Amino acid sequence: MPLLLAAVVAAPGIAAVVPAVTGPERPAVTAPPSVPPWQQAPTSLSQEPPGNLLLPGPLATDAPLPSGTALAATLDPLLNADGGGSFTAEVQDALTGEVLYSRDGTRAVVPASNTKLLTAVAALQTMGPDRKFQTRVVSGPAAGAVVLVGGGDVLLAAGASQPGLTLGHVGLATLAEDTVASLVAAGYAGSVTVSVDDSLFSGPNLSPAWEDGDIAVGEIAPVYSLALNSARYDPGSTSGPRPQDSALTAGQAFAAALGSAGAVQGLTVSTDVGRYSGAPLAGAPELATAESATVGEQVQLMLETSDNYLAEVLGRMAADSQELAASSAGAVDVVLQELESLGIAPGRVQLADVSGLTLDNTIPAAELTDVVRAMTSGTDLRLRAALPGFPVAGLTGTLNGRYLSGASASGAGLVRAKTGTLNTVLALSGYVVDADGRLLVFSFIGNNLEPGAPANKAALDQAASAVAGCGCQ
């Protein structure tokens, strides 16, 4: 049986559809007739996602494989570190797994946020792409006491629910309105107090592997089982300091929304919000509930924006689904456990977190390439759900501002890859359909680099563009 692909581009013999890329209309680009259609840059971005993002079809077997010698001649001059350090790399044929190019591809290196590719695998394999997380409001033991119970959705919005979105799929204002309706229907009128139950997660909220400076600037924050905007003050921001107690922050926003919704019904709501510490709530009457966006959609958001907080939450939820501790250590354990199903032996990957924020993680480029190949071409079709989250060169996510000029511009719209950035680390792992119509997967990783040296990021982008444009016979 042929392996399957959900590709972003159409190539001969590949019956597949693009995961939609959304955004403003781009100027039309006219390619010379000699350029094959799957190598032509899109004239505009899709405004509406297709009804089904995952339409797998058989990979073409007649497209020629690139020559390893030709690939090496193309890539070796590009992968030179600027100011110190070195690059490791691997390129594989997605259909067969044949290694076409390797530069120390089996050497363990720091992968930065390419770690999130492993977390995506664990989340999709353990929970499935259709799983949703519940946020509930239940009655507390005292009259007028309500408890907001976190079920793993950290993408809550303060306002109304927006079912068409991933971030903000569930809105606390809508949840508050439903809660007021239940209280009124039960005949309650009077004062209301709010507390939060965030007991789903266990262990330390912060990994000991994380640097204080990364916490201070908002790369990560203490991890809880409910949060607004993936623990951001502003849903439109992906940088800057974060709330240090996202559960209480969400509880306070819920109390404010409950006060607004309940005022016309004669309810008064205390603004003093604390943690619930009473008897177990397993049998407590439910006042309101709402379900998050799917795990598949959350994985896509995590990969596209490289969201550290969401990655850590998805890791904990994956651990919980396997009856492991929903903790930082449990998240690491479940990711390593799930990698074995891809044939990645224990010991070849070392993890201290599941977001890639620490230098203590090591993953060879060969293993990252194997993971990408499992997503594009493996037998577990649940992993296809990750593909729409890969940033598109020059267009979406963390590649939006790259591939816009110079030697890498030829890869715009063609390269789909997860980025990774730490002070001395750069990484890029993804997939392309080359000029001959062959689907290739790759991983390029730089370690011990000169911080901020622009030529290093350019080297990664040029290498990926060269693979995309390769005839390489």
257: Cα within 13 Å, side-chain hemisphere: 21
Joined together, the tokens standing for residue 28 give 């039309």
The answer to whether 306 is a known catalytic residue is yes
> Of 436, 433, 420, 437, nearest to 464 (Cα)?
433
Extended beta strands in 353-438, E state: 416-422, 425-433
Residue 152 C-alpha from the chain's centroid: 15
Contact 471, 134 (CB under 8 A): no
Joined together, the tokens standing for residue 252 give 């306070």
Q: How many Å apart are CA 222 and CA 78, to the nearest integer?
A: 40
Tokens 């594989």 -> residue = 92
Please identify which of the residues 161, 225, 306, 328 carries the catalytic annotation. 306
Q: How many Å apart are CA 469 and CA 414, to the nearest integer?
A: 9
Q: Compute the CA torsion angle 460, 461, 467, 468 (nearest 10 deg).
A: 160
Would you give the DSSP letter of residue 103? E
> Of 249, 43, 254, nearest to 137 (Cα)?
254
The answer to whether 270 is a known catalytic residue is no
% helix, strand, coil for the chain, step of 5: 30, 15, 50
Contact 85, 450 (CB under 8 A): yes
Please identify which of the residues 116, 132, 418, 457 carries the catalytic annotation. 116
Please identify which of the residues 102, 113, 443, 465 carries the catalytic annotation. 113
Burial class from Cβ neighbours inside 10 Å (0-12, 13-18, 19+) for residue 178 reads: middle
Q: How many Å apart are CA 272 and CA 196, to the nearest integer?
A: 11
DSSP string, 154-221: --BBSSS--TT-STTSSBHHHHHHHHHHHHHHTT--SEEEEEEE-TTS-S-SS-TTS-HHHHHTTS--
For residue 441, the cross-strand partners are: 92, 431
Which helix H or strand E contains 466, and what residues bound it?
Answer: helix 454-468
Residue 193, number of CB atoms within 10 A of its CB: 18
The answer to whether 457 is a known catalytic residue is no
195: Cα within 13 Å, side-chain hemisphere: 14
Joined together, the tokens standing for residue 158 give 């303060």
**Residues with active-site annotation:** 113, 116, 306
